[in-house]
Structure 1
Amino acid sequence: MSSMINIIKQNSSFVRPQYFFINGFHDIPHAKLYYMFLCFAYVVAVCGNSIVMFIIFTQRHLHIPKYIGILNLAVADLGESSALIPNLIKTFLFDSQYITYEACLANMFFVFFFIALQSMTLVVLACDRFVAICLPLRYHTLLTNTSMSVMITGMWLVNVVIVGTTTVLITRLSYCKTIVIDSYFCDHGPLYRMACNDNSANSIMAKVNTVLVLHVPFVFIVLSYVCILLALFRITSWEGRVKALKTCISHLLIVALFFLPFISTYIAAVTFSLHPNARIICLSLASAIPPMLNPVIYVLNTEEIRGFLKKKVKQNTSKISNLHAL
């Protein structure tokens, strides 16, 4: 590995390695079984999110603000899984742990871009539930297909700026000590801490990213649901409260799946020294499980999507029965 450190590109200011080495787990037996589980999670995520996207695209009655948001979440889930897990499989199942400098930065950009997109999409869906329950008479005025599309386009642009700036700042770092990244992908934290020159700007940007991608969205969603709960208490009938609350269950489950693992890992890392293996397991599960389960949650809890699938299953069953009758 020492020979790889000597293979460098040096310009007038910065020392850049030609390759980085993705370390992965530290001395864990049968780690490949865990990577195979992540491969399974990826296949389920691709199939599930593709089905959700297909249903929303093809059913015109689902071309409404709520489902535009769900469609964007499916795109974000699919993008994040595809940016992370295929590279992980290639890296560890096929023992290809070296990654070029340019490919490493591209990998970091897309992983963090789609994670940020997931977080912000959950905020938009929280807005949808807030307006639907707290301001029902103004729902169709405030939330139109146009306004939802504008919000989603704005999210994409903001994420490009935030994650792009974070990635560009990495190019200002010199690597003259090690090329080993203690993570399972080109993770921003380990990457900037490896540098042998001033990384204060990167440290600040890491904190800004954490606040903008995790803290602010989570606080906004919590405040939205506080307002929703207050609105539910004003509904006189118990049936009305339950009916309104049911429309929030899918979103609440997905919010919990996304935020709790990331926030728990962040608190653990800040509170005490978190072992790299524990960090890798927590973050990889936090990245792999939500894209796998989100489509299942929406299918089980969304009447329109569930109804469409039941209709298709019934049609296919009838066709098979007719063929057997012939």
Structure 2
Amino acid sequence: MAASNWTTPHHSTFILLGIPGLEAAHVWISIPFCSIYILSVVGNCLLLAVIKSEPSLHEPMYLFLAMLAFADLVVSNTTVPKTLCIFWFRDQAIHIDACLAQIFLIHSLTTMESGFMLAMAFDRYVAICNPLRHSDILTHQAIAKIGLGVVMKGVALLGLHPFLLKWLPYCKTNVISHTYCEFMVLAKLACVDTTVISAYSLVIAFFTGGLDFILIVLSYILILRTVFSLPSKQARSKSLSTCSSHICIILMFYTPAGFTFLSHRLGHVAPHVHILIANIYLLLPPMMNPLIYGVRTPGIRQRALHILGLKPA
């Protein structure tokens, strides 16, 4: 479908180019994308099944992990199928409403993922720094309230984004140089000044992912201070081991997220590099979460093998 210039603010379709400059390699790039997507869907579905079916895993850490797995599933299914259609069939057209829905789901769900990681960090903080009160503080009712609060924050703070974009007049082009719709990418296509909207997006980003990251870092500073004050070397090793998986997930999530966020506003990054890292940001954590926790958590690993029929009950 050919791209076209618009002379009116009324529109119905955008054109997603995929990865500009790497069009000839789209089919090859689709192989790791598709493989990661399949592993993400299978891994997170299996993780949810394991946590649901194993009563010993109905603890705060694993309940928050189940919430994270569900958010990962939705994020993966929001972006990857359309990306693969671009790579395989050159199906580049996306309706404006689908584009805005994609923007809302991506930003709200990644905000929820950040919130669930903060909840997991809080669980580790209470478990290590105040273990005697862990069961009293993180009751099932408290876990449900925290989960609901994270979801409501994502919906409330990011719910305005698609409406802001819907009201903008687009008279430049309908071509989006990306594999999926992003807030800042679409805002840059508008033919009016979007400084206020960009500033609003920056503030929201700080009060969601940015603030969550600061609180996670603070919680782990307190955790590490408590761990290294433990008299037993074995106790220190066990405590560090329980936190290492979570720290790996946090680094995989926030590193590409920070790069993607800053590259939009600071520029000076090759478009194909930015797009590849933006996709890694959405692809890699959903695949790695079940793998890391499955490998490092005996209860999850053994139950998963049993569900897969690789281990007797």
TM-score using structure 2 length: 0.93
Q: Which one-letter code corresponds to 1:299 in the other structure?
A: G
Range with greater deviation from structure 2 (259-268 or 181-190): 259-268
- Structure 1 match to 2:206: 211
Judging changes above 3 Å, is the alpha-carbon distance between structure 1 residues 309 and 190 closer, same or farther for their aligned structure 2 residues?
closer
2: CA distance, partners of 1:310 / 1:99: 40
Ranges in structure 2 where 5+ consecutive residues have no aligned partner:
none
1: CA distance, partners of 2:75 / 2:197: 22
- Structure 1 match to 2:231: 236
Deviation at 1:36, TM superposition (A): 2.6
Deviation at 1:78, TM superposition (A): 0.6
Judging changes above 3 Å, is the alpha-carbon distance between structure 1 residues 186 and 134 closer, same or farther for their aligned structure 2 residues?
same
Aligned partners of 2:37 and 2:80 also within 8 Å: yes
Aligned with 2:56 (options 55, 61, 66): 61
Judging changes above 3 Å, is the alpha-carbon distance between structure 1 residues 239 and 82 closer, same or farther for their aligned structure 2 residues?
same
Aligned with 2:13 (options 19, 22, 25): 19
Deviations 1:81-114 (A, max 9, x none): 0101011112232111111111111111112222
Deviation at 1:214, TM superposition (A): 2.7
2: CA distance, partners of 1:103 / 1:293: 28
Deviations 1:230-280 (A, max 9, x none): 101221011110011111111111101111122234345555511211110
Aligned with 1:266 (options 261, 265, 275): 261
- Structure 2 match to 1:12: none
2: CA distance, partners of 1:284 / 1:201: 27
Higher relative contact order (Cα pairs below 8 Å, separated by 6+ residues) = 2
2: CA distance, partners of 1:76 / 1:134: 28
Aligned partners of 2:184 and 2:264 also within 8 Å: no
Aligned with 2:190 (options 188, 195, 205): 195
Range with greater deviation from structure 2 (162-171 or 260-269): 260-269
Aligned partners of 1:41 and 1:289 also within 8 Å: yes
Judging changes above 3 Å, is the alpha-carbon distance between structure 1 residues 111 and 26 closer, same or farther for their aligned structure 2 residues?
same
Range with greater deviation from structure 2 (233-242 or 88-97): 88-97
1: CA distance, partners of 2:310 / 2:217: 42
- Structure 2 match to 1:46: 41
Q: Which one-letter code corresponds to 2:27 in the other structure?
A: K
- Structure 2 match to 1:175: 170
Aligned partners of 1:7 and 1:18 also within 8 Å: no
Question: Match of 1:24, SS?
Answer: coil
Q: Which one-letter code corresponds to 1:22 in the other structure?
A: L
- Structure 2 match to 1:248: 243
TM-score using structure 1 length: 0.90
Matches within 5 A, 1:117-132: 117-132=112-127
2: CA distance, partners of 1:117 / 1:141: 25
Deviation at 1:310, TM superposition (A): 4.8
1: CA distance, partners of 2:272 / 2:36: 20
Q: Which runs of 4+ in 1 moved over 6 A?
A: none
Deviation at 1:202, TM superposition (A): 1.9
Judging changes above 3 Å, is the alpha-carbon distance between structure 1 residues 42 and 316 closer, same or farther for their aligned structure 2 residues?
closer
Ranges in structure 1 where 5+ consecutive residues have no aligned partner:
9-14, 320-326
Q: Which one-letter code corresponds to 1:45 in the other structure?
A: S
1: CA distance, partners of 2:269 / 2:6: 31
2: CA distance, partners of 1:318 / 1:138: 37
Range with greater deviation from structure 2 (270-279 or 143-152): 270-279
Question: Match of 1:190, SS?
Answer: helix
Aligned partners of 1:166 and 1:205 also within 8 Å: no
% identical equivalent positions: 30
Deviation at 1:312, TM superposition (A): 5.4
Q: Which one-letter code corresponds to 1:208 in the other structure?
A: V
Deviations 1:26-81 (A, max 9, x none): 22231221123111111000000000000111112222211110100100111110
Q: Which one-letter code corresponds to 1:23 in the other structure?
A: L
Deviations 1:103-139 (A, max 9, x none): 1111111122221111111001000000100111111
Aligned partners of 1:173 and 1:198 also within 8 Å: no
Judging changes above 3 Å, is the alpha-carbon distance between structure 1 residues 173 and 271 closer, same or farther for their aligned structure 2 residues?
closer
Question: Match of 1:78, SS?
Answer: helix
- Structure ID, larger Rg: 1
